[in-house]
Each structure stands twice: as C-alpha cells, then as structure tokens.
Amino acid sequence: MSLTIEQMKTADLEDVARIEKSAFEQPWTAQSFRSELIKNDLAHYMVARMGERVVGYGGIWVIFNEAHLTTLAVDKVYRRRGVGAALLSGLIERSSQLGARRISLEVRPSNHAARTLYKKFGFNARGLRKHYYTDEDGLVMFRNIPGAAGEIDNDPAS
C-alpha cells in the first residue's frame, strides 16, 4: 500500500491522538494538536497515510532560519516500515522550504529507536537539557539543512 506524507488537518486529529496516546507516557491531547494547527503560525504538522489510514505524524516549529522538531510518532503496528524516516524526511524538506538552515530536537537518552533514526539522518548530539522530561534529561540534537543561503555552523556553542 502506498505511503504519502501530507499536511495534518483537523479531520486527522482523532487518529493522531490515538497514536499519541499509545506512543507517549504523557501524551498531548487532541485539543493541544488542534490549538497547534489553528493558533500557532510557527507550527507545521504532517501525517503519514497508508491508503486512507493515518499511521504516523510529526511536527516542526520554524522561527526564522531555525526549525525545531516538536514531535514524531508512528502507530506501533506500522513501525519499522520506513514511516518514521519518510515523515522526518518530509519535515526536514518542509523546514528547508520555509527557510530553516538548522533543525534541533530533544530525545530521551533511553529512546534507542528514535536516537538511531535521528543519527541515521545526520543529527548530532550536542548536550543535555536537565530534567527536560519528568523522569529523564533531554538529549539535544542538531543537524544542518543545506540550502542556498548557506549552512549555519553545526556547533551552536561556537
């Protein structure tokens, strides 16, 4: 069945909230996603669809030339089929279209699956945000987005 990456719509929110609930210990509500879609001009969310079914989603905030990955999740039944990679690729492409030259994210150090995916996409670990999660620090990762305006130095400290 073909996989498509599309802009998230309010009609997708029930499916998104269902996946979110099974993927995260402290899930966002459908209302949080609705508010992101309707009220946050910096936010851009996408869904992965297999046929008619929403099988994953992810989002970015883009502020000037910086993008931040806010979330990424795939329905458990559809994992390890390239859906997460397709979503991440789509979100990086969207970030680039919107003028971002670097993208950052936070991930749990214990989240082996996500860390492996991000590393495969060229994200580098740059430090820890203390107590970012209720029970764990957040590992901060960055990668450049090649573009006509040139890349930002990969080391935010320099």
Ligand X SMILES: CC(C)(COP(=O)(O)OP(=O)(O)OC[C@H]1O[C@@H](n2cnc3c(N)ncnc32)[C@H](O)[C@@H]1OP(=O)(O)O)[C@@H](O)C(=O)NCCC(=O)NCCS
Which residues make up the interface to ligand X (CB under 6 A)?
A: 23, 72-74, 79-85, 107, 111-114, 116-117, 120
DSSP letter for each residue of 67-90? EEEEEEEE-GGGTTSSHHHHHHHH
Q: Catalytic residue, from 78, 106, 133, 151: name it.
A: 106
Residue 143 CB, shortest distance to ligand X, in Å, is 14
Please name the residue that has the structure tokens 């400290």: 157
- Taking the least distance from each CB to ligand X, the nearer of 19 and 37 is 19
Given 45, 93, 118, 136, the catalytic residue: 118
Specify whether 93 is catalytic: no
Cα→Cα distances 92→62, 74, 80, 96, Å: 11, 17, 20, 6
Question: Quick one: 99 or 108, whose CB is closer to ligand X?
Answer: 108
Closer to ligand X by CB, 18 or 81: give it: 81
Task: Work out the number of other CB atoms within 10 angstroms of the CB of residue 98.
Answer: 16
Residue 106: active-site member:
yes
User: In the bound complex, which residue of the shown chain has the CB atom lying closest to ligand X?
Assistant: 84
Instruction: Compute the least distance from the CB of residue 158 to ligand X, in Å.
Output: 25
| Residues 105, 95 contacting (CB under 8 angstroms) | no
- With 0-12 / 13-18 / 19 or more C-beta atoms within 10 angstroms meaning exposed / middle / buried, residue 104 is middle
Fill in the DSSP letter of residue 157: T
Report in angstroms how near the CB of residue 113 gets to ligand X at its nearest.
Answer: 3
Q: Least distance from C-beta 72 to ligand X, angstroms?
A: 5
The catalytic site residues sit at: 106, 118
